[in-house]
């Protein structure tokens, strides 16, 4: 069966192979330009693409778990006058790590909270009492302003419909509420007149940070923790982290963490703050380096905005129930510490090296492209100016240099034809 003519022509056109013709131009300018560009591209590929950016290595992110343990004890002995708060005896006592660290065993992420200041509203019972004057909409002059059965947006209970004097002043009236009484009257009524944190001594408490990591893509051998090999129990009990003298000790003084974040413990302990303790693992396992060469670095930073004018710091409410109908409300101020672990491991990988080189080889075509562009400019200048250094360039160099046409017949026609442009490329006397 004969192939239709149109089908034959389409197939014939599809089976054409084209190639370029090399043109040699004796030009020192183009030669030096081309070789210089090739040199810079080679330096870029080798220096940056392979060595600087580690293009010859494969990477593995870490998997991590953190456990913390806070240690310390302090005693508050301020007088009633110095404290200046109701029930001052509640503020004078011995405080240990179980009182200060919340929760005492740390959070799942390894973070923990350190109590530095507090306001205690003692012996609350369910009943009826005036709403706090600090609550928006609580101030009133008559019963009409207090709708029975409703609660205020930030209130402590449900209004009874009465407007009554506050416990602190008979001249100031607020809506009466059904709530835990007495309500927290003034959260800003901190001990020591708000000039100093009650538990500022927590700056000398310490926290042991135990961080275990692994590089799962590299195998089960690549596991370790931030406690160095050979460390004894006595060392952990007595060492303190110091970036210069003991950079691998996992025990940190809280005051040093805050100072490392460029903050004052005295200032942040008053209203609270949020800090991050960052552990970074950047490990290189080339040339058979053991896992013991992989060591962490530590840094500290404050996360909340120290310039915030509205709701600054960090605080929360908690309650301690004594029996069914009596409790103590505590507003706790303190320092929230978050543990942030990041890092990766690196190893030589021949496949990554080949891919890095292959991805960069295409850059060498820039050298020819730039030289062709320069050649076009020189040939154009030759037609306009009779400068001596342009004598070796002709207009034929600019146009139709690489045209090659190859046509191969298929089927019964066994003849073949190759047509090449006849261009005199070099004209030198």
Which architecture, in CATH terms, is 61-117+188-344? Sandwich (2.60)
Give the mean model confidence (pLDDT) for residues 318-329: 92
In this predicted model, which residue has the larger pLDDT, 12 or 112? 112
Residue located via tokens 């040199």:
39
**Residue 22 phi, psi (nearest 5):** -80, 130
Give residue 46's pLDDT.
Answer: 85
What pTM was estimated for this model as a whole? 0.73
Query: If pLDDT is split at 50, 70 and 90, which confidence band does 49 have?
Result: confident
> pLDDT (tens digit, 9 = 90+) per residue, 230-242?
888 899 889 999 9
- Flag the least confident range among 97-101, 102-106, 386-390, 422-426: 422-426
In this predicted model, which residue has the larger pLDDT, 196 or 417? 196
- Flag the least confident range among 38-47, 83-92, 201-210: 38-47
Q: Rounded to whole angstroms, how far apart are CA atoms 256 and 237?
A: 17
Give residue 315's pLDDT.
Answer: 92
Give residue 414's pLDDT.
Answer: 39
- Flag the least confident range among 43-47, 125-129, 256-260, 295-299: 43-47
- In this model, does residue 417 exceed pLDDT 50? no
**Residue 254 phi, psi (nearest 5):** -60, -40
Give residue 9's pLDDT.
Answer: 63
- Flag the least confident range among 195-209, 288-302, 384-398: 384-398
* Residue ranges of domains in the chain: 61-117+188-344, 132-182
Give the mean model confidence (pLDDT) for residues 43-51: 84
SS (H, E, C) the chain: CCCCHHHHHHHHHHCCCCCCCCCCCCCHHHHHHHHHHHHHHHHHHHHHHHHHCCCCEEEEECEEEEEEEEECEEECCCCHHHHCCCCHHHHCCEEEHHHHEECCCCCCCCCEEEEEEEEEEEEEEEEEEECCCCCCCCECCCHHHCCCCCECCCCCCEEEEEEEECCCCCCCEEEEEEEEECCCCCCCCCHHHHCCCCCHHHHHCEEEEEEEEECHHHCCCCEEECCCCCCCHHHHHHCCCECCCECCCCEEEHHHHHHHCCCCHHHHHHHCEEEEEEEEEEEECHHHCCHHHCCEEEEEEECCCCCCCCCCCCEEEEEEEEECCEEEEEEEEEEEEEEEEEEEEEEECHHHHHHHHHHHHHHHHHHHHHHHHHHHHHHHHHHHCCCHHHCCCCHHHHCCCCCEEEEECCCCCCCEEEEECCCCCCCCC
What is the percent of the chain with per-residue pLDDT over 70, rounded to a whole number? 81
- In this model, does residue 294 exceed pLDDT 60? yes
Give residue 114's pLDDT.
Answer: 97
**Residue 271 phi, psi (nearest 5):** -120, -5
Of the candidates 208, 250, 236, 238, which has an alpha carbon nearest to the alpha carbon of residue 69? 208
Give residue 353's pLDDT.
Answer: 82
Of the candidates 278, 254, 256, which has an alpha carbon nearest to the alpha carbon of residue 115? 254
Give residue 387's pLDDT.
Answer: 56
> pLDDT (tens digit, 9 = 90+) per residue, 108-161?
677 899 999 999 999 999 999 999 998 999 999 999 999 999 999 999 999 999
Give residue 27's pLDDT.
Answer: 73
């Amino acid at each position: 069966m004969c192939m239709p003519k149109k089908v034959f022509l389409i197939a014939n056109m599809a089976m054409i192979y084209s190639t370029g013709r090399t043109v040699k131009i004796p030009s020192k300018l183009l030669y030096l330009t081309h070789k210089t560009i090739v040199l810079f591209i080679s330096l870029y590929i080798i220096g940056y693409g392979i060595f600087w950016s580690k293009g010859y290595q494969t990477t593995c992110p870490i998997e991590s778990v953190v456990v913390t343990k806070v240690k310390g004890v302090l005693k508050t002995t301020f007088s009633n006058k110095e404290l200046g708060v109701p029930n001052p005896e509640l503020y004078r006592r011995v405080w240990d790590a179980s009182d200060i660290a919340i929760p005492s065993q740390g959070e799942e992420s390894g973070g923990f909270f350190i109590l530095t200041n507090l306001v205690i509203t003692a012996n609350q019972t369910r009943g009826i009492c005036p709403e706090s004057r600090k609550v928006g909409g609580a101030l009133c002059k008559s019963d009409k302003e207090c709708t029975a059965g409703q609660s205020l947006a930030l209130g402590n209970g449900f209004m009874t419909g009465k407007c009554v004097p506050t416990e602190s002043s008979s001249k100031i009236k607020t809506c009466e509420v059904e709530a835990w009484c007495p309500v927290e009257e003034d959260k800003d009524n901190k001990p020591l007149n708000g000039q100093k944190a009650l538990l500022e001594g927590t700056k000398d408490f310490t926290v042991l940070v135990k961080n275990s990591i692994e590089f799962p893509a590299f195998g089960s051998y690549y596991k370790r923790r931030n406690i160095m090999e050979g460390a004894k129990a006595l060392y952990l009990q007595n060492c303190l982290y110091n970036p210069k003298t003991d950079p691998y000790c996992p025990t940190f003084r809280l005051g040093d963490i805050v100072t490392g974040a460029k903050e004052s413990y005295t200032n942040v302990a008053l209203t609270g703050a949020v800090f991050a303790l960052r552990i970074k693992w950047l490990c290189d396992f080339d040339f058979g380096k053991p896992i013991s060469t992989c060591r962490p670095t530590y840094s500290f930073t404050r996360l909340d905005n120290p310039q915030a004018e509205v709701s600054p710091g960090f605080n929360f409410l908690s309650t301690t129930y004594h029996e069914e109908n009596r409790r103590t409300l505590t507003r706790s101020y303190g320092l929230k510490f978050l543990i942030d672990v990041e890092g990766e491991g690196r190893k030589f990988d021949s496949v990554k090296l080949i891919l890095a080189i292959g991805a960069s080889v295409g850059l060498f075509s820039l050298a020819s492209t730039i030289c062709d562009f320069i050649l076009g400019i020189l040939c154009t200048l030759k037609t306009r100016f009779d400068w001596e250094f342009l004598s070796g360039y002709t207009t034929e160099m600019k146009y139709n240099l690489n045209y090659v046409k190859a046509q191969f017949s298929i089927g019964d026609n066994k003849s073949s034809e190759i047509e090449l442009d006849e261009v005199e490329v070099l004209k030198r006397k």
